[in-house]
């Protein structure tokens, strides 16, 4: 068989030779397609490369999320505090509503639109396996969520360093917060992506994700509060395993000075928090890959 | 009121997966109430569960119901077939509102009453207070979210920001927000029925008038938006 990319071979016979020059440059493989997909997906999550209107929402959410950090910075500068009024890790817990809304509202941008408009078949017609497509989309959303989570930490860290707080203390605190943020971003991205890929109605996917994240968190918080009041802290610790936000809070109270109700006590429980956190993310990614494999073979 | 629009809206609301989530939210709340009641003495978890239902479940149900009766039709553009019928746009808005409102009261406010009865059978008055307060807040929430759905494609996100960020997070920090928070108006009405519901201190008259104003205003606005509706493509 002749190479379809080469020009009409010498002496070769074709039915129609219209004389057009075929593309003879280098052909990039699936890796390059996946990389391009991740980058455009990341830009699309913030509305870059899309219409002006779709930039409004993500950037308003990002600005709202950064506002407390900037205010804290301003207060630090003018009052001259000797410690940050809010911990690096505590920040994401405080702004969890905004974080949830951002992830929930931008996941359908990446996962629903191709499915709803049928453009997914154009992607899958390329030499790109459906699993790579799913992972590329997931990576885009993960990147966007990380930007959302890490920017405030960066602002706070910069303010702390400019305020001449202890560098090694601040660096270690910020590093712990970055690690926690990564865990949280992994699980939120997986959950939101999975829901958005199942329900292609945008508004519905957003509410379903928020309901899962915030009502789940609300229930866990209620149980933790009641169990602490009743003196059965263990119940609250187990309940904490059932929501990404409570997992985050649990690990935050082990690894930082910010205490929350019924933190996980004992090595097995603390380990369980980490394992469940990672297992949740892996399971969601697996679910996404499986979902797109079904789409590809349907 | 137009019976055909009522029927179609009810179908859109309860059809398929949307209906499942709409029913799941109150179901989870009731399961939580039963579990807490079974595992604790007295009414330990009363405030925690009712607070969760009132500040999270109720607005989410209202948002889901309000956007479900209007959102999908606007999204896929099929609303033009409805708008081209010789039916007043305000009648369309009112019909859709009635369906969403009924869903909010049954699936958002009624579960509050039931959860209250489950958690503390000795004090039905407090449960009724939460139920009525929820119905008042739900009435205003549904109208507001329906207005948003007619106004913008991002109705869901803006509605969430209003209910969770403005009323929830900021409302906890800034006390003055209770004057412009629908949830606080509902609580004020509930306080009037049972003094065990924490008072908001904004006065029953203000709460009722504000809720009525928001409801009527949003409803008129929805009809007005539908009257001058322009279709936009997907962004």
Instruction: Give me chain A's average pLDDT, please.
Output: 88
Average pLDDT over residues A71-75: 87
Q: Please tell me the distance from the alpha carbon of residue A6 to that of residue A11, in angstroms, as a whole number.
A: 13
How far is CA A209 from its chain centroid? 13
Closest listed residue to residue B169, CA positions, set A294, A117, A97: A97
Q: In chain B, where are the structural domains located?
A: 3-227
On whether any CB of chain B is under 8 Å from the CB of A49, the answer is no
- From the list B71, B216, B200, the residue with the least C-alpha distance to B144 is B216
CB of B98 less than 8 A from some CB of A: no
DSSP state of A118: T
Residue A150, both tokens: 């890490």
- Answer whether residue A30 shows pLDDT above 70: yes
Residues of B within 8 A of A236 (CB-CB) are none
The first and second tokens of residue A228, run together, are: 């602490």
Residue in B152, B170, B135, B168 with CA at minimum distance from that of residue B61: B135
Residues of chain A numbered 228-257 and touching chain B (CB < 8 Å): 229-230, 235
Q: Which of A192, A219, A261 to mutate to test the interface with B (most CBs of B within 10 A)?
A: A219
User: Which residue blocks in chain B are alpha helix, DSSP H?
Assistant: 3-14, 16-39, 46-52, 58-76, 79-83, 89-104, 110-119, 124-151, 155-160, 171-173, 182-193, 204-227
Which residues in chain A have their CB less than 8 angstroms from residue B169's CB? 97
- What's the pLDDT at B96? 93
User: Which single residue is written with the structure tokens 């494609």?
Assistant: B153
3-state SS assignment for residue B40: coil
At residue A4 the predicted structure's pLDDT band, cuts being 50, 70 and 90, is low
Q: Record the tokens describing residue A229, joined without a space.
A: 């009041």
**Measured between CB atoms, which of A202, A207, A226 is closest to B40?**
A226
User: What stretches in chain B show pLDDT beneath 50?
Assistant: none
pLDDT score recorded for residue A83: 81
Which residue in this structure is represented by tokens 């209007």? B70
Distance of residue A204 Cα from the nearest chain B Cα, in angstroms: 7
| Chain A residues close to B50, C-beta within 8 Å | none
Determine whether the interchain pair A226/B155 forms a contact, defined as Cβ–Cβ distance below 8 Å. no
The model's pLDDT over A240-297, given as tens digits with 9 standing for 90+, comes to 999 999 999 999 998 888 888 888 888 889 999 999 999 999 999 999 999 999 988 8
B positions 7-46 inside 8 Å of A (CB): 17-18, 21, 24-25, 28, 32, 36, 39-40, 44-45
| H or E stretch at A251 | helix A244-255
Residue A34's Cβ-count burial label (10 Å; 0-12, 13-18, 19+) is middle
**Separation between Cα atoms, residue A89 and residue A112, nearest integer Å:** 31
């Amino acid at each position: 068989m002749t190479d379809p990319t080469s020009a009409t071979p010498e002496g070769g016979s074709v039915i129609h030779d219209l004389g057009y020059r075929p593309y003879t440059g280098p052909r990039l493989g699936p890796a390059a397609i996946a990389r391009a997909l991740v980058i455009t997906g990341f830009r699309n999550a913030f509305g870059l490369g899309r219409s002006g209107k779709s930039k409004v929402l993500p950037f308003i959410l990002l600005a709202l999320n950064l506002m407390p950090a900037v205010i804290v910075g301003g207060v630090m500068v003018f009052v001259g505090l000797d410690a940050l009024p809010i911990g690096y890790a505590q920040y994401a817990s405080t702004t969890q509503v905004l974080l949830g809304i951002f992830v929930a509202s931008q996941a359908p941008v990446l996962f629903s639109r191709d499915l709803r408009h049928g453009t997914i078949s154009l992607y899958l017609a390329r030499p790109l396996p459906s699993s790579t497509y799913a992972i590329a989309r997931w990576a885009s959303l993960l990147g966007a969520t990380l930007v959302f989570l890490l920017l405030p930490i960066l602002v706070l860290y910069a303010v702390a360093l400019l305020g001449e707080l202890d560098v090694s203390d601040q660096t270690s605190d910020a590093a712990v917060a970055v690690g926690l943020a990564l865990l949280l971003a992994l699980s939120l991205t997986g959950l939101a992506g999975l829901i958005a890929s199942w329900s292609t109605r945008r508004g519905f996917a957003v509410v379903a994700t928020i309901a899962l994240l915030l009502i789940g968190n609300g229930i866990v918080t209620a149980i933790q509060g009641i169990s602490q009041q009743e003196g059965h802290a263990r119940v609250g610790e187990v309940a904490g395993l059932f929501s990404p936000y409570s997992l985050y809070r649990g690990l935050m109270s082990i690894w930082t000075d910010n205490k929350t109700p019924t933190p996980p006590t004992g090595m097995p429980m603390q380990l369980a928090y980490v394992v469940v956190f990672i297992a949740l993310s892996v399971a969601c990614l697996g679910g996404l890959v499986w979902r797109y494999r079904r789409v590809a073979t349907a | 009121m137009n019976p055909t629009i009522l029927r179609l809206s009810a179908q859109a609301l309860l059809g398929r997966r949307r209906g499942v989530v709409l029913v799941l939210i109150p179901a989870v709340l009731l399961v939580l109430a039963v579990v807490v009641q079974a595992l604790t003495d007295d009414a330990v978890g009363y405030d925690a569960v009712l607070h969760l239902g009132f500040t999270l479940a109720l607005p989410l149900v209202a948002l889901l119901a309000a956007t479900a009766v209007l959102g999908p039709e606007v999204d896929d553009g099929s609303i033009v077939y409805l708008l081209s019928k010789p039916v007043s746009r305000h009648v369309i808005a009112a019909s859709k509102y009635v369906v969403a409102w009924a869903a909010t009261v049954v699936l958002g406010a009624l579960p509050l009453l039931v959860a209250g009865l489950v958690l503390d059978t000795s004090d039905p008055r407090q449960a009724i207070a939460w139920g009525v307060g929820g119905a008042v807040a739900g009435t205003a929430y549904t109208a507001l979210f329906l207005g948003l759905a007619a106004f913008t494609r991002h109705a869901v996100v803006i509605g969430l920001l209003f209910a969770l960020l403005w009323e929830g997070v900021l409302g906890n920090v800034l006390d003055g927000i209770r004057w412009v928070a629908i949830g606080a108006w509902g609580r004020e009405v509930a306080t009037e029925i049972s003094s065990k519901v924490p008072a908001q201190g904004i006065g029953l008259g203000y709460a009722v008038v504000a809720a009525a104003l928001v409801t009527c205003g949003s409803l008129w606005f929805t009809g007005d938006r539908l009257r001058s509706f322009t279709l936009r493509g997907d962004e």
